[in-house]
């Protein structure tokens, strides 16, 4: 095959698919990118057997040259490094019957030994499944709001991904690591039924990276089957397995009723927590929150010293003084995902979860488990 293309477009395509290249694998073919010529399109693919990514660009095919072979494998790290050093220009690529991959351009002349694509994994097709169409912004929001709460504990694989659930026109993304839970919901234009699947965090991470390269105008389609999920838009496709197992019933975890509710400035709360974390970082990130009247006192204590700061809050439910301790790092991660001037904290006494959400909104819920402090810490605080 012989064709010409814009080097910058090809480099962009390489950047997209290389996120699915196996970094350390006993199967050497997985360290390559597959280049396939199909009429006037060059299709690039990478697959590490967990996720596969495909992207296509337009090229100008030389009709006087044989199209065979129609595909070739090139070492991903090598080809990425080459195109990172090529200035934007039209380059010419030729692949001969021995899989030699030649790149020629202004000040550019590479001759690389490629491999046959015969042993490259076949890209899976999802013909039957539930279909959802979202904007890139909506998908980015759903993933960003939940991905940080995914568990890294490999002994609990059912927590190693984001749970995707549909209920008529509502699509929910949920993640938990046992210490906190994040739930983000959006409304879909079409009614979607029968989706209840755990998508691996790796697929979601790589999808987030890829979306920065995609056309923001084109919608992103999600197709879910019993064993796989595919995300695709114009010229792009990412396919991943789904995690088998049962995700915890998150609706049972979120308290239906709360005895206390306060409203506080999101900005002031974040800034106070960040200051508290300086001290709390050397004592397992424990910060004590004391609610009394219209006051919230944040305290952190460690061998190096103590932190105290008082914030004004609006108490909308409950009376009396309440003390509750949290991992301030986990609290901050959830609050930073809230886009609102004010946040609401809902909780009960004891070790029941605390719900944090934007004031007056229900599309995002963050739940954090309090920390049981020992007697010494109780006295110190």
Mean pLDDT of all residues in 26-50: 95
Percent of the chain surpassing pLDDT 70: 98
Q: Using one digit for the tens of pLDDT, what is the confidence trace for 185-212?
A: 999 887 787 899 999 999 999 999 999 8
- Residue 372: pLDDT band (50, 70, 90) is confident
What is the value of pTM for the model shown? 0.92
Q: Which residues contact 136 (CB under 8 A, 6 or more apart)?
A: 211, 214, 216, 218, 219, 220, 233
Q: Using one digit for the tens of pLDDT, what is the confidence trace for 260-289?
A: 999 999 999 999 999 999 999 998 999 999
Mean pLDDT of all residues in 231-241: 94
* Residue-level pLDDT at 379: 41
Domains of the chain with CATH codes: 2-113 (3.10.150.10), 130-251 (3.10.150.10), 255-380 (3.10.150.10)
Identify the three-state secondary structure at position 116.
coil
Pair type for strands 322-327 and 314-317: unpaired
Pair type for strands 364-368 and 180-192: antiparallel
């Amino acid at each position: 095959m012989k064709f010409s293309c814009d080097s910058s477009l090809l480099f962009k395509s390489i950047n997209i698919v290389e996120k699915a290249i196996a970094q350390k694998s006993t199967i050497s073919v997985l360290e390559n990118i597959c280049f396939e010529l199909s009429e006037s399109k060059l299709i690039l693919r990478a697959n590490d057997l967990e996720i596969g990514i495909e992207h296509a660009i337009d090229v100008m095919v030389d009709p006087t040259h044989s199209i065979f072979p129609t595909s070739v494998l090139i070492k991903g790290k090598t080809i990425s490094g080459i195109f990172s050093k090529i200035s934007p220009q039209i380059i010419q690529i030729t692949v001969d019957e021995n899989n030699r991959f030649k790149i020629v351009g202004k000040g550019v002349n590479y001759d690389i030994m490629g491999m046959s694509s015969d042993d490259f994994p076949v890209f899976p097709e999802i013909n039957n499944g539930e279909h959802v169409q979202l904007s890139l912004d909506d998908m980015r929001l759903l993933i960003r709001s939940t991905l940080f709460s995914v568990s890294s504990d490999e002994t609990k694989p059912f927590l190693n991904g984001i749970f995707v659930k549909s209920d008529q026109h509502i699509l929910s993304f949920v993640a938990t690591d046992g210490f906190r839970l994040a739930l983000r919901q959006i409304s879909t234009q079409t009614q979607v039924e029968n989706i209840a699947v755990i998508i691996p965090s790796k697929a979601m991470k790589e999808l987030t990276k890829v979306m920065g390269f995609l056309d923001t105008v084109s919608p992103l389609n999600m197709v879910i089957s019993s064993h796989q999920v595919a995300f695709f838009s114009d010229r792009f496709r990412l396919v991943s397995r789904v995690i088998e197992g049962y995700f915890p019933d998150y609706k049972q975890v979120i308290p239906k009723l709360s005895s206390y509710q306060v409203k506080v400035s999101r900005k002031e709360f974040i800034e106070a927590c960040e200051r508290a974390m300086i001290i709390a970082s050397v004592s397992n990130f424990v910060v004590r929150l004391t609610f009394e009247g219209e006051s919230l006192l944040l305290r952190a204590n460690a061998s190096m010293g103590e932190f105290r700061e008082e914030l004004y809050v609006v108490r909308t439910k409950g009376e009396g003084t309440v003390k509750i301790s949290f991992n301030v790092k986990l609290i901050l991660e959830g609050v930073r995902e809230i886009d609102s001037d004010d946040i609401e904290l809902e909780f009960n006494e004891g070790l029941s979860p605390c719900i944090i959400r934007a004031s007056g909104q229900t599309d995002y819920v963050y739940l954090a488990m309090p920390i049981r402090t020992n007697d010494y810490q109780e006295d110190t605080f």
